[in-house]
Structure 1
Amino acid sequence: MATTTYCGPIDVLVVSVSDPEHLRAGVGALLDRVTAGLIEILDVELIALGDDGGARRMPMDEVPAGGALAAFAGAETDILAPEDLDAIADALQPGDSALAVVYEERSMAAVVEEWTGAGARLLWSNAVEIDEIARQIEED
């Protein structure tokens, strides 16, 4: 969990599947990262195309993924804005669904806590866009 000392970058990961059963494969690995303190999940949304072609949030217990998503029941916090959901829906093929995970990257939290506990002062922590890194590499 974010503290007054450190808050990691907030990221969104969205995967699309033609069969929700395929989501089972990654659930254990995702939960392992939570247990290890590497990430904190802020929101989990299951999205499908509604009858109107727009985004439709699906309750986790509505998914026939063998209960694999049951661990996330109640974790839906609706952080994603309607335009985010629409962008996800636009990328879906008919019959597909998407799992969106909004999470805080926490892998450096213990390091920061040690440093600040020893008297260091955190100046800033920020994510770098991959496009920016690619541009920088091309310029060099």
Structure 2
Amino acid sequence: MAEVGSKENPWKLQTPPLSSEYDMYKEQKDGKDVIVCVVGKTTLLYDFNCIADLHQMLKQHNDWMELGSADEQKPAKEGTVEAWGRSESNPVGGWYGLKKGLRGRFGMYIPPLMELLGLAEVTHEKRGNKMRAI
């Protein structure tokens, strides 16, 4: 059987409100490790380093942080995981999302993967979900 987290055996995830399912897997693109996120017919790409970087930031934050998911075209609420995932002050100096036009939703799709990997706790309410590092 293929390794978990590969294209052949992707991580099966649900959005924080547990309202939608999606798949994620790690692959190389242009010599860089990326996370491929497949939501229905839409494919998003995130820099693989976002997992370790977000975990480190949450450890330093040392409390719950609102996810604040938003599309790329909409502003992210300050102080949220989404805002950090686009901030010039994060370790990559901007967006962790790699596919222009689809760089947002970092706060929707990355936290459940971190929860699955045992790196974070995520709340599962209808709205206003949060996460914290484990």
TM-score, structure 1 as length reference: 0.24
Give the structure with the larger strand fraction.
2
Greater relative contact order: 1 or 2 (C-alpha under 8 angstroms, separation 6 or more)? 1
Higher helix share: 1
For normalisation by structure 2, the TM-score amounts to 0.25
